[in-house]
Structure 1
Amino acid sequence: MTLPKEDIIRCEVLQEAAKLFRHYGLNKTTMEDIARAVGKGKSTLYYYYKSKEEIFDAVMKREKDAILCRIQAAVAQQTTASGKLEAFTRMKFREIAQISVLYQVVVREVQNCSEIERGIRRNFDNNEVDLVKNILEFGIETGEFKNMGNADLDLMAFVMISAQRGVEIASILNGKLEEIEGTMDSLVSIMLNGIRNF
């Protein structure tokens, strides 16, 4: 099945823009830079996207959707809640390590925080919290974890994602990405211990 011409152009724009954002960041990349990289005029680019922020939003959404699909697939392969939490954490950080340059751009840009970037971050965080909450509910259903109320489930999922987020940001900003897997193993162990004894 052949993609429509418009979809092919959008895909090319996002691929080239992702390279530019990785290299220069959002603020230093211009629509002209993106148009030149794609081999199109700026007017053609504006036909598909209103601004570089809209392109950045589309690049991040595409990257995050792909990451979330791979994480969900890894989680689905596990048969225990503990295994699912470990798979979630390991796969997430493998994915972050692979796109760490783009992730660093996001971390830097989010410090300046445009509304688009805040929205991207919120949406991804919410998806991760929902996924972890589903894992916790699965653990309760199978008897692996103690029963807890909905408010406690929400809080536990939020705390777990927040703790992971803190470790991932600190590891990236401090240039310690190669140490992150060992740190995450310890964090998962601590979290599972806490859940089982909650």
Structure 2
Amino acid sequence: MKSTTDVKQQIIAASKEAFKRYGFTKIAMEDIAKASGKSRSTLYHYFKNKTEVFDAVMLDILSAILALASKQIQKNKNLKDNLWDFQLVKLNELKLLIDQFEHVVSDIRVSPEILNKITHVLKNEEISLVYQILVIGIENGDVAEIEAAELDFLARSLVLGMRNLEVDALLFGNMVVEIKQLERLVLIIAKGLK
């Protein structure tokens, strides 16, 4: 007998493929049930509606991206390299998402409120990782000493600024421009925090 967590994870994994095929707007719970090989009643046992399924799918995807990006943070790297490598992994993964989930991206471009919820998923974890990058920068002498409250504010501000680049890439699809802007931003941040 499968555990509740296993069944839920199966539904989430199968739902990724369904969202790739139909997008957010056109998908129905019936499509998700078929994709997961579960009955609609089983589906409704775990999720109230397609929005909850979508949120679970996005949480799963974004968690994996953040975990991959966090592996780029290393104590022996300078601030610029840690920030650049962290963000570059996120942008490259975002590009793959845009390519794989073109119907969802089209839905987001028409109804940006879908994006609103996505951008808040894992925000605090991302802020914590950028905070860690800044602390490493201070320890390595790349960043001037900053009070903890100011450091927290700086980490939040950096995440919000860099997320704007990600949102632009998602909404307008010009990844090359966004990567160049990210590179400029990282250089300015690294120079400005010395």
Q: TM-score, normalised by structure 2?
A: 0.83
In the aligned structure 2, how far is the partner of 1:105 from the partner of 1:8? 31
Any idea what SS the aligned residue of 2:87 has? Answer: helix
Range that drifts further, 164-173 or 20-29:
20-29
In the other structure, the counterpart of 1:75 is 73
Of the two structures, which has the highest relative contact order with CA contacts closer than 8 Å and spacing of 6 or more? Answer: 2
Q: Higher helix fraction: Structure 1 or Structure 2?
A: 1
Q: 1:156 aligns with which of 141, 154, 176?
A: 154
Stretches of structure 2 that go unaligned for 5 or more consecutive residues are none
SS at match of 1:75: coil
Q: Report if aligned partners of 2:80, 2:187 keep a CA contact under 8 Å in 1.
A: no
1:169 is the counterpart of 2:167? yes
Matched, 1:192 2:166: no
Partner of 2:181 in structure 1?
183
Query: In 2, distance between residues paired with 1:170 and 1:195?
Result: 25
Q: Equivalent residues in 2 for 1:81-96 (5 A)?
A: 81-96=79-94
Q: Which runs of 5+ in 1 are unaligned?
A: none
The 10-residue stretch of structure 1 (20-29 or 66-75) with the greater mean CA deviation from structure 2? 20-29
Computed over aligned residues only, the root mean square deviation of the Cα atoms, in angstroms, reads 2.7
Amino acid at match of 1:60: M
Q: One-letter code of the match for 1:192?
A: A
Pairing of 1:47-86 with structure 2 (within 5 A): 47-76=45-74, 78-86=76-84
Residue type of the partner of 1:10? K
The sequence identity of aligned pairs, in percent, is 29
Does 1:104 pair with 2:105? Answer: yes
Aligned ranges 1:21-36 → 2 under 5 Å: 21-36=19-34
Aligned residues: 191
